Structures are given as C-alpha cells and as structure tokens.
Amino acid sequence: MVYHIPALLDESIEGLNIKPSGIYVDVTFGGGGHSKEILKRLDNRGKLVAFDRDSDAEQNIVDDDRLIFLNQNFRFLKNNLKFNGIGQIDGLLADLGVSFHQFDVAERGFAFRQDSPLDMRMDQNGGKDAASLLNSLDEPYLADVLYNYGELTNARQLAKAIVASRTAKPIKTTGELLSVLERFAPRGKENKFYAKVFQALRIVVNGEMEALKEMLSQALGMLVVGGRLSVITYHSLEDRIVKNFMRTGNFEGEEKKDFYGNMLTPFKVINRKGVVPDEKEIENNNRSRSARLRIAEKL
C-alpha cells in the first residue's frame, strides 16, 4: 500500500528556492516525499527538520545525518526548533492534505467509504476522537462546526438530526453517522456531501485551523529575509488563511498602508493565483485535484 503520493512535488520544492547550505523545515513529513526532494538539494552543511504528529509517519524516516525528525504538532514549531538549536530557517514547506495512509487505513476513521470507528485523530496518542466530540458537542456549536468547516448550508438540520440520533444511541462508527446523514445527501452528489461533513469533523478534532495560524505566525518570525514559505492547501478555508497571511501578514486579509499609501506586508507573493495540478498529475493522482500551492518570500 502506498503511504502517500505528494501533490505538486516539483513546484513546491522549486518554490522554496533552496540554498544548498540552508536550514529547511517540512512541517508535514507524511510519506517523506517532499523531504527526500529537499535533501537531494542540500549539501553536507544543509539541514532539514521534519515534523509529523502522526507516529505512523516514523516508518518513512530516511537514514540521513542532515535530517531531524520530530513526532510533534507543527503548532509548536518555534519551541521545537529552538530546542534543537535552530533560531532561524531559510524555508518552510507545508502540505496540508491528509495522507493516503490515513484515509486508507479503516481504523483511523477518516474515510466514509468504509465502516470503521469514528476516530479522525492525526495523533492517536491524545485528544478526543470524532465519536467523542460528535456525541458531546451541543447542538448550536455542532451546527457552527458543520457550517464553518464543512460549508454546509443545512448545518442546523444536520446538527438537529445528529443530536436526535445520539440521544437514542451514541454514534460510534462511520456507518452509523452515514445512516443519520443519508436522507440529507443530495442525489448524485452524495460523496461530496459526506466529504464535507467528514472534513468539518476532522478539522475540529485536530484543531487544524488554529494550528495552521500558529505555525504560520511562528514561521514568519523564524524565516530569514529572502526565506520562502511553500504551502499546499486542499480546501477554501485553509487556502483563505494562507492567501491572506501571505498577502497582508494577517489572517483577516486586512490591508495596512504607510503614509504614502504603500501596502505594509512582510511578504512578497511569488504566485498570486496559486499553482494547481495539471491534467497529467490529476490523472496520475486524483486526490491532488483540489490542491493549490501558494509561495511567498519574506521581505
């Protein structure tokens, strides 16, 4: 079984504009695809620090003295780098997608196509799983989760149905959740609907939006002038966060200008519209179809 096929591999690595003796960070090691390509471009003075909160990723570590692997959440980027004697970095890469491995191993509960326990935790060593949250969140908050993170316009109806069902019997598996949702699924678009619900739950289980904001803020402070951010997103919520941050230095996209009307921003945006996979890549890796790469250089 393939652990993961990285999306936009060449484009994201080129976007880092790698200096052979530089210090780089891959905050989403996964199958190690991006990290291996970064290592190919480093000389013996270069260094790569790779993060992954999922301990399963450790099986993909390569034997290389230039690599430091940390089984950590990237929201603690700064503290972990400083602990390892690193105060500044030349570039950071993030591929924010869920790995094939996480989707394909049924027990992880990320996918709706196979009946399994509702887990969805990136780090299985701590935190509440999806079932715990689904059975404990109050109805208004659950509706907000489905609306904000799944962009589901009928979020209140869905939350009401979930609460009614769990009152009779706790919802513990993906199959049990689908049985609650199936009457709401638009005909012919069932999979897209289910994917949005599962995305919303996964985001809240793993605190993904908060972690992304914390990581980006810390990365800005640690990048050298001329250092690059290369970030691959997979849905509009995280893409908006990355786009706003790269354009304005804040997550709201609030433009601040100097006395002369020039925009105050910590970055030079390298690709304003982002890079998306071409037809050949999508044909070879269908899961890359929603990927978008954004690159920025620190001023």
237-265 pLDDT tens trace:
999 999 999 999 999 999 999 999 999 99
Q: Which of 188, 205, 222 is the last residue of a domain?
A: 205
| Residue 127, Ramachandran bin (φ over 0: left; ψ between -120 and 50: alpha; else beta) | left
> Domain boundary residue among 175, 205, 235?
205
The mean pLDDT value for 122-147 works out to: 92
What is the predicted pLDDT for the residue at 122? 86
CATH no. for residue 216? Answer: 3.40.50.150
Q: How far apart are CA 41 and CA 44, in angstroms?
A: 10
Structural domain of residue 223, as residue ranges? 9-100+208-298
Say what the pLDDT of residue 232 is.
97
User: DSSP string spanning 50-117?
Assistant: EE-S-GGGGGG----TTEEEE-S-GGGHHHHHHHTT---EEEEEEE-SPPHHHHHSGGG---SSS--B
Whether the per-residue pLDDT at 103 is higher than 50: the answer is: no
End-to-end CA gap in the chain:
42
Report if residue 78 sits inside a domain: yes
Per-residue pLDDT at 226 exceeds 80 = yes
Calculate the average pLDDT of the chain: 92
pTM to 2 decimals? 0.92
Regarding whether 120 and 89 lie in a shared domain, the answer is: no
Least confident piece of the model among 52-61, 103-112, 200-209, 290-299: 103-112
We report the CATH number of the domain holding residue 183 as 1.10.150.170
21-65 pLDDT, tens digit per residue, is: 999 999 999 999 999 999 999 999 999 999 999 888 899 899 999
> Residue 196: what residue type?
K
Q: Per the domain annotation, does 2 fall within a domain?
A: no
Least confident interval from 14-28, 40-54, 119-133, 203-217: 119-133
> Is the distance from CB of 57 to CB of 29 less than 8 angstroms?
yes
Give yes or no for a contact between 33 and 4, defined as CB atoms under 8 angstroms apart: yes
Distances (CA, A) of 9 to 38, 199, 252: 10, 23, 29
Per cent of the chain over pLDDT 90 is: 83
Within a domain: 3: no
Residue 87, domain member (yes or no)? yes
**pLDDT, average across residues 93-114:** 66
